[in-house]
Amino acid sequence: MFHRESGVFKTTYAADMALYPLPIAKWTMIALAVLFVLVIPLVVHEYYLSILNLIFIAIVGALGLNVLVGYTGQISIGHGAFMSVGAYTAANLAVRFDLPFWITLPAGGLMAALIGAVVGVPSLRIKGLYLAIATLAGQLIIEWTINHVPAISGGAQASIQVDRPSLFGFTFDTQGRLYFFLLFFAVLAIIATLNLVRSRIGRAFVAVRDQDIAAEIIGINIFHYKLLAFAISSFYAGVCGVLYTYYFGIANYEQFQLIVSIDYLAMIIIGGLGSVLGSIFGAVFVTLLPIAIRIFMEDVGSLFLSQGELANVISGLRLAVFGGLIIFFLIVEPEGLNRLWRNIRSYFRVWPFSY
Amino acid sequence: MTRFVKSWLGVAATTATLALGGAGAFAQSKEIVFGFQCDRTGPTATVGTVLCPGYQDYIALVNSKGGVEGYKIKVIEIDNEYKVPPAMEAHERYKKEGAVIEGLYGTPQTAALNKKLEEDKMPGTSPGFGTASAADGKRFPYTFPIAASYWSQVGAAVEFVKERLGTLKGKKIAYLFYDNPAGKEPLAILEDLAKSEGFELRTFAVPAPGLEMGAQVLDITGRYKPDFVIAHLFGRSPSVSIKELKGKGYPLSKVVSLVWGSAEADLIAAGGMGVAEGYNTMQFAGVGKDYPVLKDIEAMYKAQGKEPPKEMDSTVYYNRGVFNAAIHVEAVRNAIKAKGGAMPTGEDVKKGMESIKGFTLGGFVPPMELSATDHEGGGWVQIWTVRGGKLVKVKDWFQGYRPVIEKQLAADASKS
């Protein structure tokens, strides 16, 4: 990750596809694991852990959307609705049948995958903006259904409270404990996606994205792989929804409205379509940057303004700066933060002989 | 390994000591921290951009008079954009900064934080947001709606209709509502009252975003022809409903709107006060500028050589911000007094909140009484009607069908 070679020495496909191209990459991973598992939870204040928790959940959702949009090239604006499917499935199972999270979480994911595959059916006939509208319809239908079917929503308030997740009598109730809970699933999602995209399925996805007719001619079953992409992506979304449910202690469809789908699309576009690291960068960027800008403005602004005046200025200015930064990064590198990172790395790979 | 763990524990302990030391220095300067969430940039920005300055101005007023019981108030306002994850981040930030009370903003945000407030023992207020069942202090010990819930509001609306029509027996009432959980919440009360009072009820749902309701209004005015309309709409839709009802010739004096369709901004967006003549609005805080507390805020600005902010002209939302801040300050004042001047904790402020009684700010705040079981304070509202280009008070603080609401609360509590 942070290492560099002095040139390109790979001679086999296997070497090129390896997760750890050099021994040092493995050491970097171990160092990162120690940092996230041992150092951060012990050293960092709970407040920062809570931000990391939000980032972990966002990473799971962004990875799922990237599998669909980035790797398979199918646009979806129904991601938020798939999250709510996972959330309500898990909440109903947890409350009505008193099931633990290690059953409700995969169940929520699977239910979302099922619904996602159904919503993905139009992708077999339409592409691009048309598909975007079809998935938008999916989002609205799911929202409406949850709002109007008390059997799913649990009454007029359409919200179901769930207890904190627990394992062998250990309850994940504080931010510090939830940190480990969410870190585990974020890491699992990252590893799963890394391996998915270098498998036969991942290559088929990329072939469909690049030119679906050509993919069909070389023997890829479009019907199978497009729906599989929707199902896998929705599975991630469902799990993301379940994580939100356990994190907030409530399933509420108003948390998963259209704007959430747009936010996740923004994450993967800023981070980089078709890359795992890009999804992570995007999730971090969209979650962390508004907070960082606000804290910076509070510190600087309080030198000049009273707290009331500061509050009047900050929220509008913060949005403007955030929007400005998105535009700036996308102009510097239209392919997202991941490409920016790779450019920096390849520059240093041959540095100082940049020719 | 043990040595390794120990060394990290050491690092953690050092950090904790430093953090605690910092907090200690903080307390010495006699400063108390309030958290306040707001939405100035999201879908409800029309409310937030007016309401939140009201909150800030009242706190500034208290600070200019020496603070609350000698403590200066520091407000950390965080714009959650009506999104849930930022609301959680805001709550954790308040906890880190040692806030003793938190103002919540938004219904899904309140729902997501209910549990967290209880776990962290931080009282949070949600006037006009959240679920009606949060009025039950036993079930939601740290959530304080402090204003009439949708159940109480609709109870009061029916009471008002009864007063206007003389009797409800055999009358027809239309309920025009925004098709979301908040809009559907009062249905239980309405159906209950329809049975006991003998009126006929028909409901008309308006789907989000509520900008198109021609069909529903035509159905109301052309086919159903009700004796009264109770409207429960949000955002831009109240102004659309006023325009549509007026356009179809329905008398606006036979319409009463719940609290989120009741601001000057809605009336102006409908085409001005003249168009909305006769429209009845429900309020949980005083309306207009004729209160000592607002005069004090104006005087504070004049003393600084500034003009009072233009947000003050939008009195409904501005006053709700002032109302929210006043309740926060009063709860903290009670808590500090109970501790003999010492710095209160969240638990103390919860008790302070539950002992608020007879605090009216010259008619600005309803005569509510909060208690350990009733976090709503009784569900008081006023009715203000548009007359001659401005809002005029036609019914002072009252409660509607309190026993019915209490019965519903008890039924809801036994269900869970």
Task: State both tokens at B340.
Answer: 């003999």
Q: Are residues B27 and B135 in the same domain?
A: yes
Residue B97 falls within a domain, yes or no? yes
- Domain membership of residue A22 (yes or no) is no
In a domain, A231, yes or no: yes
| Domain annotation covers residue B360 | no
Distance CA A255, CA A248 (A): 10
Both tokens of B104, joined, read 């919540």
Task: Please list every residue in chain B whose beta carbon sits closer than 8 Å to the beta carbon of residue A316.
Answer: 40-41
DSSP A160: E
Q: Based on the domain organization, do B65 and B167 belong to the same domain?
A: no
Tell me the chain B residues in contact with residue A161 when contact means C-beta distances shorter than 8 Å.
114-115, 416
Nearest-by-Cβ selection for B79 from A42, A244, A315: A315
For residue B91, give how far its alpha carbon lies from the nearest alpha carbon of chain A (Å).
9
Higher pLDDT, A302 or A202: A202
The answer to whether the CB atoms of B112 and A248 lie below 8 A apart is yes
The kind and range of the H/E element at B283 are strand B280-283
Give, as one character, the DSSP assignment of residue B269: H
Task: Tell whether B50 and B113 lie within a shared domain.
Answer: yes
Query: Chain B residue with minimal CA distance to A251?
Result: B112
Alpha helices in B143-291 (DSSP H): 150-165, 181-184, 187-197, 214-218, 237-247, 264-269
Q: Are residues B400 and B387 in the same domain?
A: yes
CA distance A203 to chain B (A): 34
User: Do B47 and B115 belong together in one domain?
Assistant: yes
∠ CA B58-B62-B63 to the nearest 5 degrees? 115
In a domain, residue B364? The reply is no
**Inter-chain residue contact A247 with B187, CB threshold 8 Å:** no
pLDDT band at A344 (very low <50, low <70, confident <90, very high): confident
Q: Are residues B144 and B163 in the same domain?
A: no
Whether residue A336 is contained in a domain is answered as yes
- Tokens 């309190």 locate to B402
b/e per residue A247-261 (b: at least 16 CB within 10 A): bbbbbbbbbbbbebb
Q: CA-CA distances (angstroms) from residue A335 to A128, A205, B64?
A: 18, 19, 52
User: pLDDT tens, A58-96?
Assistant: 999 999 999 999 999 898 999 999 999 999 999 999 988
Q: Do residue B65 and residue B138 come from a single domain?
A: yes
Say yes or no for a CB contact (<8 Å) between A51 and B8: no
Residues within 8 A of A (CB atoms), B 162-181 only: 179-181
Q: Would residue B371 count as lying in a domain?
A: no
Residues paired with B257 in a beta bridge: B231, B281
Which contiguous run of DSSP H or E holds residue B174?
Answer: strand B172-178
Token look-up 């991630």 returns A236
Residue of B9, B11, B51, B77 to mutate when probing chain A, most A C-beta within 10 A: B77
Contacts of A260 in chain B (CB under 8 A): 83
Average pLDDT over chain A reads 88
Confidence of residue A1 (pLDDT cuts 50, 70, 90): low
Classify strands B280-283 and B101-103 as parallel, antiparallel or unpaired. Answer: unpaired
Residue A271 counted as domain residue: yes
The CATH number for B37's domain is 3.40.50.2300
A-B contacts at Cβ under 8 angstroms:
121
Report the CATH number at residue A49.
Answer: 1.10.3470
Q: How many CB atoms lie within 10 A of CB A268?
A: 30
Are residues B56 and A311, on separate chains, in Cβ contact within 8 Å? yes
Tell me, yes or no, if B240 comes closer than 8 A to chain A by beta carbon. Answer: no
Distances (CA, A) of A217 to A207, A213, A224, B19: 11, 6, 14, 64
Using DSSP, state whether B381 is helix, strand or coil.
strand
Along the 416 residues of chain B, how does pLDDT read in single tens digits?
455 555 555 445 444 444 444 444 444 468 999 999 999 888 888 888 999 999 999 999 999 988 888 899 999 999 988 889 999 999 999 999 889 999 999 888 998 898 889 989 999 999 988 888 888 888 889 999 999 999 999 999 999 999 999 989 999 999 999 988 888 889 999 999 999 999 999 999 998 888 889 899 999 999 999 999 999 998 889 999 999 999 998 999 999 999 998 998 889 888 888 889 999 999 999 998 889 999 999 999 999 888 888 888 889 999 999 999 999 999 999 999 998 888 999 899 999 999 888 888 888 899 988 888 889 888 899 999 999 888 999 999 999 898 998 888 888 888 76
Q: According to the model, what pLDDT value does residue B20 have?
A: 45
pLDDT of residue A7: 67
Question: Are B59 and A308 in contact (CB < 8 Å)?
Answer: yes
- % chain A with pLDDT above 70: 97
Show the CA angle centred on residue B341, arms to residues B339 and B346, nearest 5°.
Answer: 55
CB contact (8 A) between residue B56 and residue A50: no
- The pLDDT score that the predictor gives to residue B1 is 40
Instruction: Specify whether B270 is located in the same domain as B324.
Output: no
Q: Which domain holds residue B402?
A: 150-283+381-415
- Which of A50, A264, A286, A309 to substitute to test the interface with B, most B CBs within 10 Å? A50
Q: Can you name the residues that pair with B395 across neighbouring β-strands? A: B383
**Which residues sit opposite B385 in a β-bridge?**
B280, B392
**Interface residue B190 vs chain A (CB under 8 A):** no
Q: Are residues B163 and B135 in the same domain?
A: no
Residues B185 and B207 in one domain: yes
B306 shares a domain with B274: no
Do B132 and B162 lie in one domain? The reply is no
Is residue B99 domain-resident?
A: yes
pLDDT given for residue A5 in this prediction:
67
Does residue B46 fall inside a structural domain?
yes
Q: Convert the pLDDT of each residue in A279-299 to its tens digit.
A: 999 999 989 888 988 888 888
Residue A39 placed within a domain: no
Total domains, chain A: 1
Interface touch A156/B93, C-beta < 8 Å: no
User: Would the CB atoms of A42 and B9 count as touching at under 8 Å?
Assistant: yes
* Domain extent at residue A192: 44-349
Position A187 in a domain = yes
The alpha carbon of residue B351 is apart from the nearest alpha carbon of chain A, in Å, by 24
Q: Do B8 and A38 touch (CB under 8 A)?
A: yes
Could you tell me the two tokens for B289? 């500028």
Q: With an 8 Å Cβ cutoff, is A55 touching chain B?
A: no
Domain presence at residue B1: no
CB contact under 8 A, B89 and A50: yes
Residue of A nearest to B56 (CA): A308
Token pair belonging to A206: 């990329």
| Chain A contact present for B136, CB below 8 A | no
B23, B70, B71 from B66: Cα distances, Å: 22, 6, 7
At B26 the pLDDT is: 44
Total domains in chain B come to: 2
Q: Residue A319's pLDDT band (boundaries 50, 70, 90)? A: confident
Q: Is A332 on the interface with B (CB under 8 A)?
A: no
Render pLDDT for A192-224 as a digit per residue (tens, 0 to 9). 999 999 899 999 999 999 998 999 999 999 999
Residue A26 lies in a domain: no
Helices A79-96, A101-119: axis angle to 10 degrees equals: 140
Residue A17 has pLDDT above 80, yes or no: no
State the pairing for strand pair A250-252/A159-161. Answer: antiparallel
Share of chain A above pLDDT 90, in %: 41
B interface mutation test: which of A43, A254, A263, A297 has the most B CBs within 10 A? A254
CB B210 within 8 A of CB B182: no
Q: What is the pLDDT of residue A160?
A: 86
- Of residues A273 and A25, more confidently modeled: A273
Question: Is the residue at B164 inside a domain?
Answer: yes
pLDDT of residue B25: 43
Of B89, B111, B185, the CB nearest to A51: B89
Give the one of B40, B59, B108 whose C-beta lies nearest to A315's C-beta: B40
